[in-house]
Structure 1
Amino acid sequence: MTAATRNDVPVTLGGDGVEVRNMPIGGDMAVSYISLPRGTDMGPALKGLPDDACQCPHWGYLLKGRIRMRTASGEEEYEAGQAYYWPPGHVPLALEDSELVEFSPTDDFKQVIEHVVAQSG
């Protein structure tokens, strides 16, 4: 598939208001529609990955909300209306209810999702 609306994309991770919809969209890239309620800290779910951080790069656009991204070199905040690139080694914290559209390498993001699902089970 080379195009997809949010409703076309299956939920691959959900619970406590968090929703990640993810599917391949062409080549080795996947699209994700992500909803994070205010206060969502992905740090605990990422424990056990290298540097206890997401190791998948993401290119995206923050549709709604505000996110603080923690990295080894410090923190940076992103707000609705901004496009972004997050390199490997990041841990997100939702400062407000947030919605994002992201593009990521399919296999890399699948590994992160599988880890997060295993942490919650």
Structure 2
Amino acid sequence: MPKTSKQDAAETVEIVGYEGHLQELGGYTVAFETYTEDADLAPLFAGLPDDRCQCVHLGYVLSGSVKFTFTDGHEEVYVAGDAYHAPPGHTPTLYAGTELVEFSPTEALQQTLEVVGRNSEAATPTSG
């Protein structure tokens, strides 16, 4: 059976307020996430349907908290000890000091991360 850990994960992703260590496991990606500062990531999902994440996530909050805002406007806050299911149609708000583990279908996650990556690059000022 395949396995991974935060230290052994194949990919590292860093954007404002977020550090993730990701590994694909049989059609799903496990992400060990740490939130390094408070950040509303909604602008990074621009260009996806409804400008929201279209990937489902199952997660467990190890410490801190994370908030998801859904298409219908309702919000859910998950805190340390909570397991959660975030269906498509959400945007996350990160809070510094949060750590969690999240599982997502790899193909949908990759499609989402392509858009988030482009938006993150466009929003990052370049030095010159």
Q: CA deviation at 1:59?
A: 0.7
Q: Which residue matches 1:10?
A: 10
Unaligned runs of 5+ in 1: none
Q: Which moved more, 1:36-45 or 1:55-64?
A: 36-45
Equivalent pairs, count: 120
Task: State whether structure 2 residue 100 is matched by structure 1 residue 100.
Answer: yes
Q: Distance in 1 between matches of 2:14 and 2:24?
A: 18
Unaligned runs of 5+ in 2: 122-128
Contact 1:34 1:99 in 2 (8 A): yes
Calculate the TM-score normalised by the size of structure 2: 0.85
Q: Distance in 1 between matches of 2:15 and 2:54?
A: 22
Calculate the TM-score normalised by the size of structure 1: 0.90
Q: Distance in 2 between matches of 1:95 and 1:14?
A: 15
Give the secondary-structure state (helix, strand or coil) at the position aligned to 1:55. coil
Contact 1:13 1:117 in 2 (8 A): no
Q: CA deviation at 1:96?
A: 4.1
Aligned in 2, Cα 1:65/1:37: closer, same or farther, shift over 3 Å?
same
| Identical residues among aligned pairs (%) | 38
